[in-house]
Amino acid sequence: MPNSDASAKDRSTIRTLLRLWPYVRPVRTRLGAAAVVAIIASCTGLVFPLVLKWMVDGPVADRDVAGVWFGALLLLLLGVAEALLFGLRRWLVARPLASVEASMRADLFRHLQRLPVAFHDRWASGQLLSRGTTDLMLLRMFLAFPMTFLLVNSVTIVVGVIILLGQDFTLGLVLLAPVVPMVIACAYYEGRYATAARRAQDQVGDLTTVVEESVLGIRIIKGFGRHRSQARAFRELSHTLRGTELAKARILAAIWAVIVTLPETAIGAALVLGTVRVADGGLSAGTLVAFLSTALALRWPVESIGFLLAMTQESATATERYFEVMDAEPEDGAVAAATAGGPADSGAEDGLRFHGVEFRYPDAPPGAPPVLDRIDLHIRPGETMALVGATGSGKTTLTALVPRLHEVTGGRITLDGEDIAAMDRDRLRTLVAVAFEEPTLFSASVGENVLMGAVDSAGDADLARALDVAQAGFAHALPQGTGTQVGEQGLSLSGGQRQRLALARAVVGRPRFLVLDDPLSALDVHTEALVEAALRRVLADTTALIVAHRPSTVQLADRVALLSGGRVTAVGTHQELLRDNAEYAWLMSGADMPHAAEEAAR
């Protein structure tokens, strides 16, 4: 998992943040307008003291009642304008920023769904989740405040400095003296802050992973009474996170200390110098006061730069984490091939063929033997082939190649003569239906879960037929029948029930090709027999590949392929292999089971 190794690699914060542009682009007008409004609002605030000064010096001193009323009215208008401008800025950005966050999240989700399965094997979902939640929230905050106010405050500082230099050039230079050391110190600390921020964000992802696993594995934790050691692991991680956060705080505090101390010192120097010059008569007292009040007024914009930059750093890190996932190549890398080949409708029914198929996982260490090697297998149209092999021989991997959950690394697989690598994935997956060993149901009704396997036009009749084949009649007896919610957020069903629904999902679309990975493992003997009887009818005219562990399942097949050490070592009928192939006989009977062996030898 690519975490914790907070990359100290050379990267520019600005270049990273610029990657947000495509998402910001649609709302750029509003964001720009909001920045302008913010600048105007700040300026309005600056006019207040001027009006007050005018009132006190003019109408009040002159006892001019009309003037007083005019001044107060002016203040009121300015006040209302300022309030409305503040509100306007927020109103301008509220919806657009929420939509930026949402569209980035939607894109992340869409992209993740299309990344290769191998990617998901490597990434804990907690790390993905933390990118989709906390990181994106951070980015929304960044667009709402730091980005705007870095601009607004910079403008204010520049304007302020020009005013200062205009009031007195020498004193102005004294105030500017700490700029260089400040920039150096900030650059130093910001770099360290970025590293710490990245580490903290990755640690949050790790923590999320522990939380998720502790829930997914709750039965194991409870079954072994391991909640204490699980809590200890969690505590260690959260302590590490606390340490990182405190280190972050110390860096931030150092930035603040620099940003507070240096300008203050400069103001003090300007004050001393100014006092001497006032005493010399080289400067008027009024100018010194005006100069210093302007300098003090600039304190907040200057101080805020520190934490605004820190937030910017964190946002850059969040952006980096986000695009780390977004940059991963999605599955449709072979789209070009798909359009090039097109649905070559050869019309010839050739069944499912493996031609010298080789497969190694993309992340396998170099030099490791391939998981599947030189697989040649022909499943004739309408034929059912059982795939038998010892635990870990690569059966599940082989089945995953047919719907292209993994891509073959050598050779090819053809459906009715057409290379699947050249087929549009959607079309391929419509042709091939799959039932996995682990029957996952989604948060949806039973009916929806089953009908996922069919075209949109499939209706209740198809549903009923599929449930019937899979002996999943229990679905009708659920509280809301086939409308009952199941999955993460619904009624939890037993392993056997889920397996039957998954089977129903595989057969509901009457697919041309069917791939079943040990589809009956969680069923009891009676149910298994009933499912087999029903399945036999479906299999009669379907080209099917069935991973099987047991003779009863093998019975469904016309022929059997034996997978051993990543190779197909034998193909034949059950009886032939039982007679001629020692490994097969061993797999099917268990050599030490006396009566089984007898019957096997029969």
Partner 1 sequence: MTSSTSVREKPLDPEEPGLPEEPAAHEDPFDKDDLPTPPGATPALLRSLLSPLRGRVVLAAVLLLLQQAAVQAGPLLVAYAIDSGVPAVRADDHGPLIAVAVGYLLCAASSGALQYAFIVASARVSQDVLLDLRGRIFRHAQALSVDFHERYTSGRLISRSTTDVESLRELLDEGLQELITVLLSFVYISAMLLWLDLGLGAVAVASFVPLYLLVRLYQRRAGALFRERSTAIAAVIVKFAETMNGIRPVRAFRRERANDARFAELNQRHERTNGDAMLEMARYVVGSRLVANIAVAGIVLWGAQRVADGGLALGVLAAAVLYLRRLYDPIDRLGMFLNSYQSAAASLEKIAGLLAQVPAVPEPDPSAARALPAPESEHPGREVRFDGVRFAYRTGGEVLPRFDLTLPAGQTVAVVGSTGAGKSTLAKLLARFYDPTEGRVLLDGVDLRELAGAELRRGVVMVTQEAFLFSGTVAENIAIGRPDATREDVERAAKAIGAHDFIASLPDGYDTDVRKRGGRISAGQRQLVAFARALLADPAVLILDEATSSLDIPGERAVQRAMHTVLRGRTAVVIAHRLSTVEIADRVLVMEHGRIVEDGSPGDLIAGDGSFASLHRAWRDSVVS
**Interaction residues for partner 1, span 152-191 (CB under 8 A):** none
Q: Which residues are paired to 572 by β-bridges?
A: 560
Would you say 554 and 561 are in contact if contact means Cβ atoms under 8 Å apart? no
Write the DSSP assignment of 170-197 as a string of letters: HHHHHHHTTHHHHHHHHHHHHHHHHHHH
Provide the minimum distance between the beta carbon of 442 and partner 1 in the complex, in angstroms, as a whole number.
Answer: 7
- Give the separation between CA 114 and CA 329, rounded to whole angstroms: 9
CA distances from 581 to 251, 340, 561, 587 (A): 70, 44, 11, 10
* Residue 380 or 474 with smaller CB distance to partner 1: 474
Residue of 5, 8, 26, 91 that binds partner 1 (CB under 8 A):
91
Residue of 375, 401, 563, 600 that binds partner 1 (CB under 8 A):
600
Interface with partner 1, residue 592, by CB under 8 A:
yes
Provide the minimum distance between the beta carbon of 501 and partner 1 in the complex, in angstroms, as a whole number.
Answer: 11
**520 phi and psi, to 5 degrees?**
-120, 15
CB atoms within 10 A of CB 527: 18
Q: Where are the alpha helices (DSSP H) in 281-347?
A: 285-297, 299-326, 335-341
- Give the separation between CA 602 and CA 592, rounded to whole angstroms: 16
* Residue 170 or 440 with smaller CB distance to partner 1: 440
Residue of 22, 417, 459, 590 that binds partner 1 (CB under 8 A):
590
Residue of 15, 21, 526, 582 that binds partner 1 (CB under 8 A):
526
Provide the minimum distance between the beta carbon of 178 and partner 1 in the complex, in angstroms, as a whole number.
Answer: 11
Interface with partner 1, residue 132, by CB under 8 A:
yes
* Residue 154 or 443 with smaller CB distance to partner 1: 443
Would you say 387 and 399 are in contact if contact means Cβ atoms under 8 Å apart? yes
**578 phi and psi, to 5 degrees?**
-60, -35
* Residue 83 or 176 with smaller CB distance to partner 1: 83
Q: Is 425 exposed, middle or buried (0-12, 13-18, 19+ CB in 10 A)?
A: middle
**Interaction residues for partner 1, span 251-280 (CB under 8 A):** 252-254, 256-258, 260-261, 264-265, 267-268, 271-272, 274-276, 278-279
Region of 369 please: left (phi>0), alpha (psi -120 to 50) or beta.
beta
**Interaction residues for partner 1, span 536-555 (CB under 8 A):** 549-552, 555
- Give the separation between CA 250 and CA 244, rounded to whole angstroms: 10
Provide the minimum distance between the beta carbon of 491 and partner 1 in the complex, in angstroms, as a whole number.
Answer: 6
Residue of 10, 14, 15, 65 that binds partner 1 (CB under 8 A):
65
Interface with partner 1, residue 36, by CB under 8 A:
no
- Give the separation between CA 151 and CA 154, rounded to whole angstroms: 5
Binding mask 492-511 for partner 1 (x = CB under 8 A): xxxxxxx---x--x------
* Residue 64 or 576 with smaller CB distance to partner 1: 64
Provide the minimum distance between the beta carbon of 348 and partner 1 in the complex, in angstroms, as a whole number.
Answer: 26
* Residue 171 or 204 with smaller CB distance to partner 1: 204
Residue of 52, 336, 337, 533 that binds partner 1 (CB under 8 A):
52
**424 phi and psi, to 5 degrees?**
-65, 130
Binding mask 357-376 for partner 1 (x = CB under 8 A): ----x-xxx--x--------
**Interaction residues for partner 1, span 93-122 (CB under 8 A):** 93-95, 97-99, 101-102, 105-106, 109-110, 112-114, 117, 120-122
Q: Give per-residue burial for 371-410: e unless 16+ CB within 10 Å, then b.
A: bbbebebbbeeebbbbbbbeeebbbbbbbbbbbbbbbbbe
Residue of 42, 153, 209, 317 that binds partner 1 (CB under 8 A):
209
Return the residue matching tokens 């005013």.
163
**Interaction residues for partner 1, span 14-33 (CB under 8 A):** none
**Interaction residues for partner 1, span 213-242 (CB under 8 A):** 213-231, 234-235, 238-239, 242
Tokens at 382, concatenated: 């309408």
- Give the separation between CA 413 and CA 359, rounded to whole angstroms: 12
Give the CA angle between residues 443, 1, 206 to the nearest 5°: 65
Kindly indicate which of the ranges 15-23, 318-326, 461-469, 518-526 contains the residues binding partner 1, using the contact rule CB under 8 A: 518-526
Residues with Cβ within 8 Å of residue 278, at least 6 apart in sequence: 284, 285, 288
Region of 281 please: left (phi>0), alpha (psi -120 to 50) or beta.
left
Residue of 36, 40, 134, 570 that binds partner 1 (CB under 8 A):
134
* Residue 24 or 207 with smaller CB distance to partner 1: 207
Provide the minimum distance between the beta carbon of 469 and partner 1 in the complex, in angstroms, as a whole number.
Answer: 17
Provide the minimum distance between the beta carbon of 351 and partner 1 in the complex, in angstroms, as a whole number.
Answer: 20
CB atoms within 10 A of CB 479: 8
- Give the separation between CA 312 and CA 295, rounded to whole angstroms: 26
Q: How far is CA 551 from the centre of its chain?
A: 43
* Residue 414 or 521 with smaller CB distance to partner 1: 521
**Interaction residues for partner 1, span 316-355 (CB under 8 A):** 331
Amino acid at 332: D
Length of the chain: 602
